[in-house]
Amino acid sequence: MIFWKALRRRDFPLTRWPWRALAFVAGTPVVAAVVAVPVGLLSLPGFLALSPTQSVGARVAFAVVGLAVVGAGLPWVARPLARLERRRLRLLDPRLVPHHRPTGYRDAATWREVAYAVLLLTLGPLVYVPAFLVAASPFVLLAGPLLVMGEDGPVALGFVVTDSVAESFGYAAIGLAVLPVVPYVWSLVAAAHAAVTRALLHDDERLVEVARSRARLVDGFDAERRRIERDLHDGAQEKLVGLTLRLGLARLDVPADSPAHEHVTRAHEEAKRLMAELRELVRGIHPKVLADRGLAAALEDLADRGPVPVDVRADLPRLPPHVESTAYFVVAEALTNVARHSGASSASVTASTLDRVLVVEVRDDGRGGADPADGTGLTGLADRVAVLDGRMALSSPAGGPTVVRVELPWSA
């Protein structure tokens, strides 16, 4: 760990690391106090089980209910705590903590996060309170002469008691001598805390590398799509445009009553249809507007080309290409399903960002009853979304409406 290496440096007190450790240590009681509130509320039935005024049966019932409530509720408290602690850990170790988002109560990562929350609220005070007292003692000893001058009787200076100004100056000298050790006290506490954080809130590097390799495959796939789109747009499409123009000129030059005119006309019309089909193919592979102007403009263009009226509400910044691409093709597939299967008269697409998460929702007023098992392409889209550590939800009761909602963290 990087911070442990910094602790071994001779000039450690003169570096930035003691201040970063102090920020980490000082923030821990605040975090613990905030977490203690919901945990205390979840533990209320358990406290009632300890009441001597309750009957034995009532105490057993409260104990069972308390365990159930705590077991069900703690993961929901531990998850945001773990997210915050991974970020705070960067004060001491800039390396990212490998992890994947827990998927439920059976996920081992969920219970490691719960274990961290329990340790923070139980062992945390046992470590931090003595550490704070030890770290504060030199400062109290240094302030001893001022405290003793204003009092007539004995004054407690941390772990010692004195009523003499001369004696307080002696303690102040001791405090001054011990003062350089104080940064090491809170730094050691911070280092130990950080080690526990990394041990409990990280996943196997191999599992994380698998997720990263899947993301790299998606990026490579998108890059290949863009390459094919460029090759078709700049190569085959331009040649087909030139061929269409030459056939049009030949059509004008050939006499209308000649046998060749019909063949040239038919070839010209066929070339124009082929050019329109190629243009649609290129746009479907990777729309140029998506790369040039971003997801919001691409969604507007997608809605304008559909047979069903679509209202688009998207006020978005430029996002990472793989996130924009995934969101675009989710919306494209959803609108294709709307046109083919829903019988809807209108649809809407909303896209927004919230806490570095892109949220896209496609809604239609059709007949509903959509089922991914029917081969509508939704299963493939859900897999693509999952690669980016995102989530896709489908609501399609019989009679409608159908809603497809996708959440994509753009830091994935």
DSSP 183-239: HHHHHHHHHHHHHHHHHHH---HHHHHHHHHHHHHHHHHHHHHHHHHHHIIIIIHHH
Whole-angstrom distance, CA of residue 58 vs CA of residue 403: 46
Give residue 96's region: left, alpha or beta (phi > 0; psi -120 to 50): beta
139: part of which helix (H) or strand (E)?
helix 108-142
Per the model's pLDDT, the better-predicted residue between 153 and 295 turns out to be 295
Mean pLDDT, residues 377-393 taken together: 75
CB atoms near residue 33 (< 10 Å): 10
**Pairing between strand 357-364 and 160-162?**
unpaired
Query: Which residues have CB under 8 Å from 67's CB, separation 6+?
Result: 46
Q: In this predicted model, what pLDDT tens digit does every residue of 311-334 receive, in sequence order? A: 989 888 888 877 888 888 888 888
Query: 405: helix, coil or strand?
Result: strand
Taking a C-beta distance cutoff of 8 angstroms, is the pair 191, 21 a contact?
yes
Is residue 209 over pLDDT 50?
no
pLDDT at 82 over 80: yes
Which pLDDT score, from 0 to 100, does residue 323 have?
A: 83
Q: What is the mean pLDDT of the chain?
A: 77
Decide: 385 and 326 in contact? Cβ < 8 Å: yes
**Residue 30: per-residue pLDDT:** 92
pLDDT attached to residue 207 = 44
Contact 363, 331 (CB under 8 A): no
Q: Could you give the C-alpha distances from 216 to 63, 157, 219, 394, in angstroms and in order?
A: 49, 60, 5, 27
How many Cα atoms are found within 13 Å in the side-chain-facing hemisphere of 153?
A: 1
Asked if 406 contacts 390 with a C-beta cutoff of 8 angstroms, the reply is yes
Q: Identify the pLDDT of residue 34.
A: 92
The number of angstroms, rounded, from the C-alpha of 306 to the middle of its chain's C-alpha atoms is 32
pLDDT over threshold 80, residue 275:
no
Rama region for 357: left / alpha / beta (φ>0; ψ in -120 to 50; rest) = beta
How high is the pLDDT of residue 226? 61
3-state secondary structure of 398: coil
> How many whole angstroms from its chain centre is CA 142?
47
Q: Cβ distance 163 to 148 under 8 Å? A: yes
> Where is mean pLDDT largest: 35-49, 88-102, 308-322?
308-322
Q: Residue type for 129, please?
A: V
* 391 pLDDT above the threshold of 60: yes
What would the mean pLDDT of 353-363 be, rounded to a whole number? 85
DSSP label of 98: -
Please report which helix (H) or strand (E) contains residue 38, including its range. helix 17-42
